[in-house]
Amino acid sequence: MSDRELFIGYDHVAYATRDTDATVKLLEVLGFAVKIHRQELDKFNVYVTKMMLNGGAVAEIVEPRGERSAVSKVLADKESSVYHACFKTNDFHAALDKLKKFGAVTITKPMRIPYPVTEEHRTFLDVHLYHPSLGLFEITGPG
């Protein structure tokens, strides 16, 4: 499978914010609708909100639940920031192996998506990775 077939686009863009509702209001102006609102994700000590456009684009909003959250350092001196992009793949395990061989380091263990926004997402795995040429990113897909 070529890279063009393995990686098939973006799944979502995640935003770190101190004020979920303010971010939701702006994304609503851009045409997004709330699908999941401020669900606790204990593992990362954050609240997660997911929004979608009619065309299927997903925005994920991540708000800290305390000082020691997955996004606390990202928000150290700001109210909001792009947190990461998530790339969609046709083969999660092949994509992860390829990225690790290219020097990407896994930040989280592969897991089922905690709050799937579509039926397709219910079958996906995801993992957060880091590479110095891209920073923090995520991949998701069937696995």
pLDDT per position as a tens digit, 34-65: 999 999 999 999 999 999 999 889 999 999 99
pLDDT range class, residue 1, cuts 50, 70, 90: low
The tally of domains found in the chain comes to 1
Q: In CATH, what number is assigned to the domain containing residue 19?
A: 3.10.180.10
Stated pTM of the model: 0.92
- How far is residue 106's CA from residue 98's CA, in Å, rounded to a whole number? 12
What phi and psi, each to the nearest 5 degrees, are found at residue 100?
-65, -40
Q: How confident is the model at residue 5 (pLDDT cuts 50, 70, 90)?
A: confident
Per DSSP, the residues of the chain read: --HHHHEEEEEEEEEEES-HHHHHHHHHHTT-EEEEEEEEEGGGTEEEEEEE-TTS-EEEEEEESSSSSTTTTTTTT-SEEEEEEEEEES-HHHHHHHHHHTT-EESS--EE-SS-SSTGGGGEEEEEEEETTTEEEEEEEE-
Tell me what the pLDDT averaged over the chain comes to.
95
Range of the domain at 128: 3-142
The length of the chain, given as a count of residues: 143
